[in-house]
Amino acid sequence: MANDRPWYRFYDPRTPRSLEYPPIPFFRFLEDSARRFPDRPALIFKPAHQGFAGSAMTYRELNELSDRLAAALYHELGVRKGDRVALIMPNIPQFVISYFAVQKIGGIVVATNPIYTPRELEYQLADSGATVAIVLSRIYERVKSVQPNTAVRRVVAVHIKEYMSPLLKLLYTLARERKEGDRVALRDNDIWFQDLLRRYRPDQRPAVEVGPDDVAIFQYTGGTTGLSKGAVALHRNIVANVLQIRAWDPEIRDGQEVVMGALPLFHAYGMIVVLGLAMQCGATIVLVPNPRDLPTLLDGLQRYRVTMFPGVPTLYNAINNHPDVKAGKYNLRTIRACISGAAPLLLEIKRRFEEITGAKLVEGYGLSEAPTATHCNPLYGLNKEGSIGIPLPDVDAKIVSLEDGVTELPPGEIGELVLRGPQVFQGYWNRPTETENTLRNGWLYTGDIARMDEDGYFYIVDRKKEVIKPGGYQVWPREVEEVLAQHPKIKEVAVAGIPDPHQGEAVKAWVVLHEGQTATVEEIREWCRDKLAPYKIPRFIEFRSELPKSMVGKVLRRVLVEEERARGQPTG
């Protein structure tokens, strides 16, 4: 079907099938917006609600601060082209400043989850070979504890209050700084972020030649199938993906959009769809460090009249069910466009959110290897329930046989989703075997099981490595989850295979009920009986108050399975 591309019929008439990709480094988007919109806020830092406004940083300021830090990294910390610099921070202005500073001198950004344990931090720092780490002060001791086992020479500490408004900064210093662990004493020749900035001027940024074929990021995968791997992406891969997403929304207005920055910027999704897209079109990003802080997020949506809100289903669902939203205390009608990713978007969540906001909420698909987006439902065209949509401009996609990995399957048949396009990564850092398995004959093998319909819309069935095999049968967890999610009492659900001495594996469901609801195991099984074959019905069902999730809201099935194995005896 790659040559046929039936999905073109469903493109918005204003979205081209193919794009021109300028041969520029990613940070050129920031520089161009600083020239076009120097006084427009690039960032609004919204760390708290309680009636507080955020603090703004213009495009001119952001560009100059990143130039100053680039000079400091080069002249004082010895960062050179190709060196890796780890950024271990939530969504704060210092992350954005650091991100572009590193790339402006040809460095490679290794953006790392700030809630990682010491073991996880050590693995990622050591594997990437990062020589400098820029970290939030409350994470400083964690990083120092593993530094001897890594190549990190210097640590730059960032204080969360540096870009707060004056009043909020004072209150934070008095009431929360010590409690949150932000007040630390640096050692081993480490340095504070602001001290570095004060020592250099923007014009001291060195003239390092950085082009489209230079490496921009090592984006570590979530590690759902083992140890996480560093996906290597060039500047041209990121530039291409940003422009593909830009083309998908032909109503974007340069210098006028406001983007909600609730998705973690250290994750590929937030890095491209929030940071990259905003920089390209001169939008303002409202930075929210903790997306689970709904009062702050809702205040930011309303106060700054957000127009674009990329997110995840759990976040949209939380807004739908927030009591103040239900009571009409927030006006969210300025939101225009939302792309949902990282997990399946249930129809009820989509309908309710669109009803509340008047926005278009569509489901998309991507993976760190691309480096985030490859498919999406049209914002202003046909949306199909349960579909991840159609390929973005210049993306080819097809379904191939699970048996040989080569034979292209016709519409309706289930196989592995493979794709190719200008945004596809170069391979995994220091992992040639995994690279060869993933990149074959110009195609990216996603590891996702999917099907395509006659119109070229794609549907994810499940992860290739998460198939459950009870008694030799094949059960896709997502199929069972979709059936359970339709139960009126069920708020959230996860399904996975657990070890079973009789069948090898058994199907287990972890269920979160809506507040005030009760249900029995038999009641849930009865719901499944006329919707699923007997071998697909969960043998074990466990009721929980919540499910473990990643920072972007993806339910972590592997954590549930690990908990089950640790107990040694199936529960539910």
Instruction: Summarize pLDDT for 70-106 with one digit per residue, the tens.
Output: 999 999 999 999 999 999 999 999 999 999 999 999 9
The CATH classification of domain 468-567, taken from the options 3.10.450.50, 3.40.50.1100, 3.90.180.10, 3.30.300.30 = 3.30.300.30
How much is the average pLDDT of 541-557? 85
Residue 520, helix vs strand vs coil:
coil
Q: Kindly report the CA angle at 252 between 250 and 257, in degrees rounded to 5?
A: 170
Q: What is the pLDDT of residues 239-285, one digit of tens each?
A: 999 999 999 999 999 999 999 999 999 999 999 999 999 999 999 99
The residue ranges of every structural domain in the chain are 17-376, 390-463, 468-567
Higher pLDDT, 481 or 275: 275
Output the pLDDT for position 1: 43
Around Cβ 39, how many Cβ atoms within 10 Å? 9
pLDDT of res. 116:
85
CA separation for the pair 28, 438 (Å, rounded): 30
Strands (E), 288-442: 337-340, 360-365, 375-376, 390-391, 396-400, 415-420, 427-428, 439-440
**Per-residue pLDDT at 303 exceeds 90:** yes
Phi and psi dihedrals of 64, rounded to 5?
A: -70, -40
- Judged against a pLDDT cut of 70, whether residue 502 lies above it is answered with no
Q: What is the pLDDT of residue 472?
A: 61
pLDDT for the residue numbered 572 = 67
* Average pLDDT across the chain, whole number: 92
Is the pLDDT confidence value at 326 over 50? Answer: yes
Whether the per-residue pLDDT at 289 is higher than 80: the answer is yes
> Residue 46: helix, strand or coil by DSSP?
coil
Over residues 450-465, the mean pLDDT reads 88
The confidence score (pLDDT) of residue 278 equals 98
pLDDT in tens, 347-369: 888 999 999 999 999 999 999 89
The CATH code of the domain at 390-463 is: 2.30.38.10
Angstrom distance (rounded) from CA 247 to CA 25: 19
14-71 pLDDT tens trace: 999 999 999 999 999 999 999 999 999 999 998 887 778 889 999 999 999 999 999 9
Among 325-334, 419-428, 454-463, which stretch is predicted with the lowest mean pLDDT? 454-463
Give the per-residue pLDDT at 224.
36
Q: 22 Cβ partners below 8 Å, 6+ apart?
A: 28, 239
561 confidence band (pLDDT: 50, 70, 90): confident
Spatial distance between the Cα atoms of 509 and 480, rounded to a whole number of angstroms: 9
- Least confident window among 149-158, 217-226, 425-434, 512-521: 217-226
pLDDT of the residue at 225 = 42
Q: At 544, is the pLDDT very low, low, confident or very high (cuts 50, 70, 90)? A: very high
Collect all residues with Cβ–Cβ distance below 8 Å to 126 and sequence separation of at least 6.
Answer: 149, 150, 151
Mean pLDDT of 180-200: 94
Which amino acid, 119? R
pTM of the predicted structure, to 2 decimals: 0.85
Contacting residues for 143 by C-beta, under 8 A, at least 6 apart: 88, 121, 125, 133, 135, 152, 155
Give the right CATH number for 17-376 from 3.40.50.720, 3.30.450.20, 3.50.50.100, 3.40.50.12780. 3.40.50.12780
pLDDT at 2 over 50: no
Specify the higher pLDDT residue, 530 or 320.
320
HSE-CB of 216 using CA atoms within 13 angstroms = 25
Structure tokens at 287: 């930075």
